[in-house]
Chain A
Amino acid sequence: MSMELLISISVGVMTMAGVYLMLRARMFSILLGLTLLSYAVNVFVFASGRLRIGMPPIIGAQHTYADPLAQALVLTAIVISFAMTAFVVVLAIAAYTRLGHDRVQPDREELDR
């Protein structure tokens, strides 16, 4: 039970921090927020296969077993979110060099252009 509590609290805290950071109007904060959110999601996907300790993910090896599919899903999700984060970092740098700042709101003169 304590394991479930720990996991759910950490998912909740990471989501909360991620959402807070994403609501800031700075690209760097949003980037950190997206990363935290994807961590929370990965842990959540992992927990969707139920939390079991000391059990192999193989049917028939022991009386009970851990669900390997949730682990496969989370691996895929980690790879994809990693690639997307890398892309967003590059995009943020490109935006910074072109716009000269990392604010998300356009300036007055940018709107007029």
Chain B
Amino acid sequence: MNAQWLIVPVLLPAVVAAVLALVRPLALQRLLSVASCAALVGIAGHLLASADSGALTVYALGNWRPPFGIVFVLDRLSALMLLLTALLALPVAIAMSGGEDERGPFLHAFLHFQLMGLNGAFLTGDLFNLFVFFEVLLIASYCLLLHGQSAGRVRAAWHYVVVNLVGSSLFLIAVALLYAMTGTLNLADLAVKLPQLHAGERVLAHSGALMLLVVFALKAAMFPLFLWLAPTYSNAAAPVAALFAIMTKVGIYAIVRVYPMVFGATAGEAALDLRVWLLPPALATMACGALAALASRRLSGIAAQLTLLSVGTILAVGALATTPALSASLYYLAHSTLSGALLFLVCGLVSAQRGEALDLLKRGVTMHQSQLTAILFLFAAVAVTGIPPMSGFMGKTMLLQGSASASDAVAAWIWSFVLVTSFVAILALMRGGIVVFWMARSSQRTSDTAPVPLIAAALGMVAFVMALATLAGPIKGFTDATALQMTDTHAYVRAVFAVGGRP
């Protein structure tokens, strides 16, 4: 494959976003937006097919040789995240065309800027470039969140923006510390330089690495830095909240990209044991997410807290950093992104049909399309909580199997937390479903119908979740290979430094 393909997932949304900002007619905007998202799915599929051979593709931007220039690196992990983003973006673009884009200008343009930031963050092999793409996706997410500008959204956005700006400052401090100690920010070069540090320098590099972990944990909404998530997600418009399902996963991606490779076994004395730093807060995240889901007053609040629960689950198992554990958490990551997005879309369907009651957990009128909505909600709930036969069940089984290889005490903690929080999640969603669907006043019926594109998007997401369940075998095979590749530092370093170009 030509290495220049690697820049396309960043360039295409950037160009399309610029065009979308200039195009006035809404119909044309929608067409362009959906077409570009469909093209992204194709490109991501092509990149995934080429990454599946096991070879790493490296693209040196401006032909500057690493470690001097910035490199884009495509491996199985990046390709998986790219495809996941594209698969999420397509239904989101369709759902946005269901009237949400009439409430203010530039919704589709912001979506594409967000996609540009996401794709760049997944492809880059340079820490500072990762910071830049984080900022791109964050500022797009601020604008997406503020779209429509109700008072609730402005307040939620204020907290979200300030918390993330403080996170960005910490990111820069951490990057500067690592740069001061190693003289490089290229991930492959960092992996080479870290084992060569003296004891004194190692302490400072470790402080930088752990500060970086704090930043990634903030983006992933890990305990105790998770309080921004629920108000943000439950106040955002339904398609935007569905898109945000991938936002916490960027933090998780950054953690599993940087730490097993750079601070893993090959780092010698500079290695960091992720279990010490990640496992206790991840378990606490699960507990908080499950309990808060029970206490939520809105359906979208429950969905937001269950996002938190899935983040805790992925990080708890991913922290083990063994190949089976990483593989299982990657499958669960794909599942929780798609099923979480489905749940947010269903919340949008519910609030579109209940008039004043929106998706609050109180008695409301009977929905116009109550049967369709209820069936979609059932699908989403079964998938999210991990009841057979949907992908959540497969994912949780893999998580339990993957963590069983760890020491008995650790496995016991993870097993009990995963099983108990799943049960609590079932309770929370049952409560939501009973109030919204069964306690509706049958005498009153609204004539409000949910927009057709929103229903189409939710159906598409159902198809993706079902595909994830039926194709679980091949996908697990792929994530197994991904987990092996993620911890193979030598192959990564070799591939990056094999690239020629100007010094």
Contacts and interface: CB of A to CB of B under 8 A. Distances in A.
Nearest to A88: B161
Interface of B: 128, 132, 135, 139, 142, 146, 149, 151, 154-155, 157-159, 161-162, 165-166, 168-169, 172-173, 175-177, 179-180
Given A34-B166, A45-B176, A70-B179, A95 B142 contact: no
A104 B154 CA distance: 11
A16 to B, nearest CB: 14
Contacts of A64: none
A87 to B, nearest CB: 7
5 contacts: A37-B169, A45-B176, A73-B176, A88-B162, A98-B149
Contact of B172 (A77, A94, A95): A77
B151 A84 contact: no
Interface in A33-75: 34, 37-38, 41-42, 44-45, 47-50, 69-70, 73
A99 interface: yes
Interface residues of A, number: 34
Given A34-B165, A48-B176, 14 more contacts: A38-B165, A44-B173, A47-B180, A48-B180, A69-B179, A73-B128, A76-B132, A83-B139, A87-B161, A91-B146, A91-B154, A91-B161, A98-B151, A99-B155
Contacts of A49: 179-180
A37 B155 contact: no
Given A37-B166, A91-B161, A80 B132 contact: yes
Given A45-B176, A84-B139, A87-B142, A95 B158 contact: yes
Nearest to A94: B154
B132 to A, nearest CB: 7
A34 B164 CA distance: 11
A87 B161 CA distance: 9
A80 B157 CA distance: 19
Contacts of B157: 91
